[in-house]
Every structure is written in structure tokens, then in C-alpha cells.
């Protein structure tokens, strides 16, 4: 019987997971290989060595079920972990639903999102390998601030290429990174060949995550080994680091004497959804449970629901290895009218494959419906969600309303990946009626397919 009193489930510091959970140990099929862009052959760890320290490369390809979390990382995690799991009792009441809704709240990290979980791990392993500097990209600024914080903790320099439109519209995230001591550029810049090649064709280019990744990768690749590159989502080792979220949630739901029928996360590159869902998915795959997994994405950047499952570059210019994923095409330019993050052309290869195999379901939402859900949630639960996380809330509310319709006691778990206190401009625009619903056109997806790299 589910517990009927409590609304908040906390764990003690020694219940912070001691290992990350690796879904590759339990997937029905092995992951598709990552290919070298020049040869079309599977990449070797040595091919990736200019960009990442060997410890992270080995995690990227590991099939061990559990990978131990070094003590210094757990010690830093302890500042905000274990994060709380809430039962959204007032939201349930507001929706008048028989569903039980739980959310794991990752906005309690100092930078306000789950991104800190992998930032700390990545900087730790780079520091251990003697790396002095990391280059990275950031869209809305969440990842850049997380890596900048971790850089400050370990005394590793951080250089951030921030998508120009966000650099101009979101000064406070930029200021936060600078406060942590990072250097922040508006991308595309004229500091890299990649940036210059974009600006030559289009001097007014406002940037994209794909372009910023090209710039950050180039800085690391040309550094002669002093600088490595760091990515905040998409890659297997990033998803791995986020699994502390789901492992804690498993324990917390045990205390609540409950178990989810559906586990929901918003997806940009896939890391917060994977972080919550993979530990439950592993259990479902091993025990034959029928837990559903639902990825929520924006209509304006619908990689999973409309993208093509194919080999593509992770960046715009074409410098990264080729990964098999759902993609809108590496030259995708996000529509400027969209408020939230979640604007990457690709998707985590692990999430993509699990979607292709029918294990993860996906739905796309318009932004006005997403902000309506965020507002309902805030009025019931008090927390302003990040616009990205609000996609998961939309999906969770829809599930709860379906359960009401069906008269079903559905148990819903979603990841509240971050707070939205730096995103109040988006809320202001929503209340002013200035957000447009925009559906990424099918012919743009078809056209992008023509420009995908040819695999021989
Ligand atoms: C970056 C970010 C996302 C999207 O990235 P994922 O890798 O898909 O999790 C979602 N929510 C928040 C709060 C973020 O900062």
C-alpha cells in the first residue's frame, strides 16, 4: 500500500549511490558503433583521446553494469544529493486525478539543474589526467554554468562557447559562469576556423548548439593536449553519471511503498531522462516489468518524434565522430521564437536506440501548452520549473488526466530537471501572449536527410 501521509522522501548522505548504473549491461541489443568521420570505421579509444581523458573514454564503451563513483565526487554530490523526491499531492488535487504523481527535483544543485552531476565527474577525471583547461559549448547556459562551477572546485580553467542568441538574451547565466571564473564567448566567434567559416557565409548568424560544439571541439583538438573537450549531454558517459538520479528515486519510492507505471523525462540530448529512467529500465528489462518510459520534446525541435534514425555528426561543421541517432540534420538551425532549451539537432544514441526498439516512447508538445502546464504546476507545488523540465510536466499532467478519464490509479514519476529562476523572461513572454507555437516542418526534415553524411 502506498504511503498516505508524506509528501517528501529524503535519503541520508550515505545513501548517495556508490556506483553509476550502466544501461549497456541490460540493453536487448549492443549499441551501434561510433564511426570515424574519415574512414567510416568504428572509432578506437585512441581516436577519441585528443578530446577526452582515457577514464571517460573507457566509461563511454564500458558494458559493466556498475561503475564505482570516486569518493571525491560523492563528497561534492553530498552538497545537493540525495535530491528530494516529492509526491505532488496538491497538483493531484488540482487535477482531481486518482493518479499518484511523484517528481524527483534536480533544481536543488547550486546551479539549479541535473547538469552538475556530470560536470563534477567530468572535471574530476580531467583533473586526474593532468588537464589544465576544458572547452565546451552551452545553449541556454545551464551546462556552461555547471561546468564552470566544477572547474572552480577543481581549479581547472573553463572556456565556454555560448550560442549567440542566448548570450544576448540571457545575461544572467553568462554572469553566473563568469562569477565561477569561466571565459564566455558569443558563438559563432572569429576565434576558430569553424566560427569563421559560419560567419563568412552568414555574418548575422545567431548561433546554434551544433556550431558552438564545432568551436569547442576545435579548441581542444588544436591545443596539443593541454585542453580537453567536455559535453553536457548525449554521450554514454554523461548519461551514466546522471543515473544517481534514478537510483535514488528507486530507494525513495521503496520508502513510499510505491512503484511507477510510467517514468517521464524531457529530452534535449537525453541525459536527465536517462538519469531518472535507466535504473528503472534496467530493472524492467531484467525482471520483465511493464513500466512505460516517455520522452517529452518540443514540437519545434522534434528529434525523436520526427527525426531520422541515421548516422550523423554531433556538430554542425562535421568534426565529431559519426553517431547513430535520431537527427534533424547537423546543419539544423533552431527557430529563434522558441523559449526553452532542448534545441539540439540530435539525440543520445542510447535513447535513440531504445526508442527505435520500442522501449522508450516519445511525444512532442507545443510551447504554449508546456507553459500552461508549468503554471499549473507552480501554483500547486510552488516551484518555477525550467522551460525544458516543463515539457515533462506537460506529459505528466496529460498522463494524470488520462488516468482520471479511465478511472485508473496510475503512478507517474517525472524528472523536474531544473528550476526556471533564470528563465523568467520566457514566462513573461508567455503571459504576454508572445510565444508562438511552431511545428518543425516535415519537408525541412526530408531536406536534411539529403545532407546526412554518406556511410560507405
Ligand atoms: C540541459 C537541460 C535539459 C536538456 O538536456 P538533457 O540532456 O536532455 O537532460 C533539460 N532540463 C534542464 C533543466 C537542463 O538544464
Task: Tell me, using a 6 A CB cutoff, whether residue 342 lines ligand 1.
Answer: yes
To test the pocket of ligand 1, the residue of 269, 348, 362 to mutate (highest count of ligand atoms within 8 Å of its CB) is 269
Structural domain includes residue 297: yes
Q: How far, in Å, CA of 22 to CA of 382, rounded?
A: 34
Residue 164: CA count within 13 A, CB half-sphere: 15
Q: How far, in Å, CA of 238 to CA of 243, rounded?
A: 9
Structural domain includes residue 155: no
What is the model's pLDDT at position 133?
98
What is the 268 CA–ligand 1 centroid distance (Å)? 6
What is the 225 CA–ligand 1 centroid distance (Å)? 29
Residue 260: CA count within 13 A, CB half-sphere: 33
What is the 389 CA–ligand 1 centroid distance (Å)? 7
What is the model's pLDDT at position 253?
98
Structural domain includes residue 162: no
What is the 265 CA–ligand 1 centroid distance (Å)? 9
Structural domain includes residue 406: yes
What is the 41 CA–ligand 1 centroid distance (Å)? 31
Task: Tell me, using a 6 A CB cutoff, whether residue 374 lines ligand 1.
Answer: no
Q: DSSP secondary-structure letter at 23?
A: G
Domain count along the chain: 1
To test the pocket of ligand 1, the residue of 212, 348, 418 to mutate (highest count of ligand atoms within 8 Å of its CB) is 418
What is the domain-level CATH number for residue 341?
A: 3.40.50.1100
What is the model's pLDDT at position 450?
87
Q: How far, in Å, CA of 42 to CA of 61, rounded?
A: 12
Task: Tell me, using a 6 A CB cutoff, whether residue 271 lines ligand 1.
Answer: yes
Q: How far, in Å, CA of 434 to CA of 437, rounded?
A: 10
Range(s) of the domain holding residue 340 = 69-112+237-450
Structural domain includes residue 352: yes
Structural domain includes residue 128: no
Q: What is the pLDDT of residues 126-163, one digit of tens each?
A: 999 999 999 999 998 999 999 999 999 999 999 999 99
Q: What is the mean pLDDT of each run of 10 residues along the chain (456 residues)?
A: 84 97 97 93 94 97 98 98 98 98 98 98 98 96 97 98 92 96 98 97 94 96 96 97 98 97 98 98 98 96 95 92 95 72 90 98 97 98 98 98 97 98 95 93 87 82
What is the model's pLDDT at position 338?
66
Q: How far, in Å, CA of 52 to CA of 46, rounded?
A: 10
Structural domain includes residue 336: yes
What is the model's pLDDT at position 5?
81
Structural domain includes residue 184: no
Strand ranges in 139-239 using DSSP code E only, listed in sequence order: 157-163, 183-187, 227-229
What is the 4 CA–ligand 1 centroid distance (Å)? 32
Residue 448: CA count within 13 A, CB half-sphere: 26
Amino acid at each position: 500500500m502506498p504511503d498516505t501521509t508524506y509528501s517528501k522522501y529524503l535519503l541520508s548522505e550515505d545513501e548517495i549511490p556508490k556506483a553509476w548504473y550502466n544501461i549497456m549491461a541490460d540493453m536487448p541489443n549492443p549499441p551501434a558503433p561510433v564511426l570515424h568521420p574519415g574512414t567510416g570505421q568504428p572509432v578506437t579509444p585512441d581516436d577519441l583521446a585528443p578530446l577526452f581523458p582515457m577514464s571517460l573514454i573507457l566509461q563511454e564503451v564500458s558494458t559493466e553494469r556498475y561503475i564505482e563513483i570516486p569518493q571525491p565526487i560523492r563528497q561534492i554530490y553530498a552538497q545537493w544529493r540525495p535530491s528530494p523526491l516529492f509526491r505532488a499531492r496538491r497538483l493531484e488535487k488540482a487535477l482531481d486525478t486518482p493518479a499518484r504523481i511523484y517528481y524527483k527535483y534536480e533544481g536543488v544543485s547550486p546551479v539549479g539543474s541535473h547538469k552538475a552531476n556530470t560536470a563534477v565527474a567530468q572535471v574530476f577525471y580531467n583533473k586526474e589526467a593532468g588537464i589544465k583547461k576544458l572547452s565546451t559549448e552551452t545553449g541556454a547556459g545551464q551546462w556552461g554554468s555547471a561546468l564552470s562551477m566544477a572547474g572552480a572546485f577543481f581549479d581547472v580553467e573553463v572556456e565556454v562557447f555560448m550560442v549567440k542568441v542566448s548570450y544576448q538574451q540571457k545575461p544572467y547565466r553568462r554572469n553566473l559562469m563568469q562569477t565561477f571564473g569561466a571565459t564566455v564567448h558569443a558563438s559563432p566567434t572569429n576565434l576558430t576556423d569553424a566560427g569563421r567559416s559560419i560567419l563568412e557565409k552568414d555574418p548575422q548568424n545567431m548561433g546554434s548548439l551544433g556550431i558552438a560544439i564545432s568551436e569547442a571541439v576545435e579548441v581542444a583538438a588544436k591545443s596539443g593536449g593541454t585542453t580537453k573537450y567536455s559535453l553536457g549531454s548525449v554521450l554514454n558517459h554523461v548519461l551514466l553519471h546522471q543515473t544517481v538520479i534514478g537510483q535514488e528515486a528507486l530507494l525513495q519510492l521503496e520508502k513510499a511503498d510505491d512503484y511507477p507505471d510510467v517514468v517521464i523525462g524531457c529530452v534535449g540530448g537525453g541525459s536527465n531522462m536517462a538519469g531518472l529512467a535507466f535504473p528503472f529500465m534496467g530493472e524492467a528489462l531484467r525482471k520483465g516489468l511493464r513500466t512505460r518510459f516517455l520522452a517529452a520534446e518540443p514540437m519545434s525541435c522534434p528529434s525523436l518524434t520526427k527525426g531520422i534514425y541515421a548516422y550523423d555528426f554531433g556538430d554542425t561543421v562535421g568534426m565529431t565522430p559519426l553517431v547513430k541517432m535520431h537527427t534533424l540534420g547537423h546543419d539544423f538551425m533552431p527557430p529563434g521564437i522558441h523559449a526553452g532549451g532542448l534545441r539540439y539537432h540530435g539525440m543520445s544514441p542510447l535513447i535513440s536506440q531504445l526508442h527505435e526498439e520500442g522501449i522508450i516512447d516519445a511525444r512532442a508538445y507545443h510551447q504554449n501548452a508546456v507553459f500552461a502546464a508549468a503554471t499549473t504546476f507552480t501554483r500547486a507545488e510552488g516551484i518555477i520549473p525550467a522551460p525544458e523540465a516543463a515539457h515533462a510536466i506537460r506529459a505528466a499532467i496529460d498522463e494524470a488526466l488520462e488516468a482520471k478519464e479511465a478511472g485508473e490509479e496510475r503512478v507517474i514519476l517525472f524528472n523536474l530537471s531544473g528550476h526556471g529562476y533564470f528563465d523568467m523572461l520566457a514566462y513573461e513572454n508567455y503571459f504576454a501572449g508572445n510565444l508562438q507555437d511552431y511545428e518543425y516542418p516535415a519537408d525541412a526534415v526530408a531536406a536534411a536527410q539529403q545532407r546526412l553524411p554518406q556511410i560507405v
